[in-house]
Structure 1
Amino acid sequence: MKHWSLKVKFGAYAASLVLIALGVAAVVMLPTFYFSQLRQVDRQLAADAEELFRDLENFRGAPVNPRKPLSARFIPVGLQDRLLVLKGPEGQLLYASPGMSADDLAGIHTGYANVSFEDKPYRIGIFDREPFFLKVGAPMGPARALQRSLLRGLALAMPITALLVFGGGFLLAKYAIRPVSALTASAERISINRLDEKLPMPVAQDEIARLTEVLNDAFQRLKQSYETATRFSADASHQLKTPIAVLRLGLEELRARETLPDGPKREVDMLLHQTRRLTNLINELLLLAQADAGRLVLEPEETDISPMIQAAIDDVETLTHDRGVTVETRVPRSLVVRVDQRRVRMALQVITENAVKYTPDGGRIRFDASIRNGLFRLDLANTGSPIREWDRDRIFERFHRGTDVGEEVQGHGLGLNIARTLLRAHQGDLQLIRSDADGTVFRLSIPIDGKETDPV
């Protein structure tokens, strides 16, 4: 239910409330109606008894002795289809309906009661007027049939009513949230490159208008913060490049001195290694800042990527030759794609270095390149520990490193984000296809007819 749209939820809630209301109404109404029928039958039984007593007292030719049996001609026509047991002052049977005896209805002595006679329901009334004692019963079959009809009507009406209410609620919600839908569509068009856009203000000055104002203010603050962060990242990267270059040059000159002892020379080598790492990090941050600012411009041209992939394969074999890593390849001789060579080479370098870092000794790395359905695709697989489930959704985030990645594994958590950014600038992508006990597979994909793109 959490995946239902608001319109469906609104319709479902409305239909549920109506069903509950109808159910409560049925629980209250049916017993009330049933007892109302009982009272009506009781009144009719009392009227029938009064008619019989009156006839016995006033009817011409009525028997004088109340202890003698009565003939059926003394019973009013309206009572002849009822259950009747009439007794005298000493309890002697004066009259019983056909098929009845003095013992029938013997367990009832006062008031009214529901009984079953010959497997049929009856309502019995007991009336005592000296010198007679009368039991009269009316069939309850029609009343119970009416109850069943009402239940069937409710059972049929409830789903139909719920369906109608659901449809009405759905349409009403659709109309009510139409401004929200328009707001959502407008918000989806706002991206990193279109932060100047604002949400259109609705005509009505209601809650939606207030929400639009709040969102526009939030987008404006986000735009200002984003521009500030982008400028800072770019400016800091530029400002750091010069002093690090000077530092690196000084270290290289110091390293070149023949008089430098071996101990200090090793320390200088370590410092040079760290300055190279710092230079790479600055270049990566500068690249991301350009992409964030929309200034990453591609220079695509028709390129055969096969030699580029082969160079990456050679690098992998060189880096792993003493670790017993098997390198498997399936790369066609020619793979012509329209790309920016420098940017794609950088993305390819990131994922191959990633595979080398996380493949254990004696493991396996496989390159599988092809062009299918107008799409260049390179699947790079490596054996090793699988990426944990909770890391897979964040693996392309900046500065995120896997839970199991130790400090001995170099990196800053930027490589995969940079590679994906460069590939998406080509209208392509970098995806994690799977990561399990059999290994991890990343897929690099680019349309082969890459078109000229705006700055990213």
Structure 2
Amino acid sequence: MFLGLETVLLATVYLGARAGILHGIDRVGVRYDKVVDDPATLRAHGTVATLRRAHGTVQGAQPAEKVSHALAVAAADEVLWWSIPALGVTALIAIAVGWWAGKRALRPVHAMTAKARQISEHSLDQRIGLDGPDDELKRLADTFDDLLGRLDAAFDSQRRFVANASHELRTPLAVQRAAIQIGLEGEPGPEELAYVRGELLAANRRSERLIDGLLLLAHSDRGLEHREPVDMAAVVADELVTLTEEARDARVEVRVAGSGPAPLRGDPVLLGHLVGNLLRNAVRHNHPGGCVEVSVTPGALTVRNTGPHVPADQVQRLFEPFRRGTRERTRGPARTAPGSGLGLSIVRSIAHAHGGTVTAEPVPDGGLLVRAALPPADENRAGRAAP
């Protein structure tokens, strides 16, 4: 391509020089410093002109136009022969400079390629860390580093989830094994048998809750397969009915604000789990004589309790699987059995599946305020209609 452009440039220079020389000769004429006495022959590019002296004037046997044209062609040829090597040298210099500049410009790309080949699932903590001006390559490298950071966090979260799930499932199995061993030693009496039955039943229930939570979390992470009209106010009312006895035993008062409907489109089963997990957490992580305030509006569900103080730097960790918070927070009045540590993780996953978000903030006097923002029915319909 470069040589082709040089050829076009050379042809343009040649034709331009030829036309310019011819035009100059036509304007100023042809002068000769030496006048010959005898006929002489002037040869220029194959044209012969015979010159004689007559009264001090040079006369030609050929027309002046042919002589001018021949001189112009000869001068243009001279320009051409000098231009060819000059353009050749220029081409070599341009190729060398272009090769050097291209290699220098592609050096960051080679560095990113080499780094990307070194990265695997076990070395996601590596970064390109490209230095230099804020150009397209620098922004590309920074974007790649951000992607690696998100992947590293996702893989780390998955590894922790698997490890914690294995640990949580192992605990009730160990309890069951110990209870069975106690029951098999000697001749167990009625009290020992009752103790074994109680331990086995409690461990079985804990395993069941944990497995149900894991399945629910996996289900909500996959997203929604179908949507149907749901009134969040009715869902809250239904969940409060199932929570009445537990709240009464914990001596926790539940107050509900907002009696109007709050329609949206979603999965009623998943939304029931979202509301139930929020309400149970608010009741269980509370003080005797405390209260839970529930507010239902179109597009939002807010739950606030009067439980123990939650450090601000610990709030976001509560949404991670198997995070139970501080010892004081997990020692609620109604907690007859330890929870699975999946409640708020399930809440956030279900909210994301419905296109919503969940935020939490500590209450200055103690407790936690959790707000689930869910798109109302009209926004869900508009989102599906948008291209």
Q: TM-score, normalised by structure 1?
A: 0.43
Q: Which structure has the bigger radius of gyration?
A: 1
